[in-house]
Amino acid sequence: MPSAAEADVTDDHGAFVPGGRVSRGPTGSGALDGLRFAVKDLIDVEGLVTGGGNPDWAASQRPAPADAPAVRALRAAGASLVGKTVTDELAFSLEGENHHHGTPRNPRAPGRLPGGSSSGSAVAVAAGLADVALGTDTGGSVRVPASFCGVFGFRPTHGRVPLDGVVPFAPSFDTVGWFAATGEVLQRAGRVLLGDTGSAAAPLHLVRLDDALAAADPGSRTRLVPLARALGALDGFDVFEGDRASWLRAYQVLQGAEIRETLGGWIAERRPRFGPSIAPRFHGLAGIAAAEIDTWRAWRAAQVRRLHALFPADRPTAWVLPSAPGVALRRTASADDRGRFYDVALALGAIAGHAGLPQVSLPLATSDGLPVGLSVIGPPGSDEALLALAAGLDTDHP
């Protein structure tokens, strides 16, 4: 079992887990030679305890016996691990705060939140401390911090990247995603993580999700709608069909039911200490009724069939929408402001989440000088086409 080497850090923007940054060298050579990567502390690195952002979780775990497949793949392709990154406690947040480890500082939006729960990974890339960083995305935990921190972020088709060696949260929504500062590096990492087929991805015809764009705050919307059109999304439709609230509630109930199944036993046994904003979320899981779970499971199944059918069989098509409701929340944001953010962010994230669709967040716009991400969702298995789109855009966008 390798030993962890510690690196001296003068300013890591709070991105890395406290206690000394760890490193691991590459195990092979390939497409990622010379690149540095960071790993969210929900993903196993051999010989290290996967802390999950919570000291009681960390205390109940043994050192990981092996690298998670995603970590193993990056190292085998020539990349070097430069640290484990801060996560919101057991992934139950989109804000990027951690009561125990502190809040990573957003390099692109000082005084504002980095977004969570893959907060440290996004900050590590935005600050230039890593070229690639692994995160997890259930309800938006890659897409939101990518938007807040102004970096590229990718959520793959559900199941494309193995979840072995990853702390389970809500398994039917969970994915391993990643961040990069450029679309080209995002694509290179994707070829490694997804398996390079060597075949060229067909260009995507882009269509707007008009009601999703309308849900963004006014300042962000005025930047994102013209950008979507400039990218070629000249047509649009309403994905929520006038009922965005159902997308939110279905996600909350079904995610909550799965969290209760995966973590409820551990919580009942260990009675862990959660931060003041996280504890009520776990406590509230007990009130989810079986009848409501059944109702929303049936609703979800119907919506998955509908969404999949909306992609034309004869033309590769993808949908354009905001990555987040707007720019990064202030660190001092009120409970009401945070509640309004969640109501929109979880509904936006649930489009890809409910249907297991891949989504890329593109850092192509700013509002009042702050990053705001534009996202593209593709049909199942269109990951390579979305990554090719990102690589072709990078910062040379309309």
Instruction: Give helix 183-194 / helix 69-76 axis angle, nearest 10°.
Output: 110
Residue 93 annotated to the active site: no
Radius of gyration of the chain (CA): 19
CA 378 to the chain's CA centroid: 16
141 is catalytic: yes
HEC string of the chain equals: CCCCEEECCCCCCCCECCCCEEEECCCCCCCCCCCEEEEECCECCCCCCCCCCCHHHHHCCCCCCCCCHHHHHHHHCCCEEEEEECCCHHHCCCCCCCCCCCCCCCCCCCCECCCCCCHHHHHHHHCCCCCEEEEEECCCCCHHHHHHHCCEEEECCCCCCCCCCECCCCCCCCEEEEEECCHHHHHHHHHHHHCCCCCCCCCCEEEEEHHHHHCCCHHHHHHHHHHHHHCCCCCEECCCCCCHHHHHHHHHHHHHHHHHHHHHHHHHHHCCCCCCCCHHHHHHHHHCCHHHHHHHHHHHHHHHHHHHHHCCCCCCEEEEEECCCCCCCECCCCHHHHHHHHHHHHHHHHHHHHHCCCEEEEEEEEECCEEEEEEEECCCCCHHHHHHHHHHHCCCCC
Active-site residue identified among 119, 141, 147, 367: 141
Tokens at 195, concatenated = 């398996």
C-alpha atoms less than 13 angstroms from C-alpha of 58 in its C-beta half-sphere? 19
Of the candidates 93, 117, 119, 367, the residue annotated as catalytic is 117
Dihedral pair phi/psi, residue 317, rounded to 5°: -130, 145
Looking at 40, 93, 220, 382, which residue is catalytic? 40
**Distance of alpha carbon 29 from alpha carbon 256, whole angstroms:** 41
Residues 6+ apart with CB under 8 A from 339: none
The reply to whether 40 belongs to the active site is: yes
Inter-residue contact 383 to 190 (CB < 8 Å): yes
As annotated, the active-site residues are: 40, 117, 141
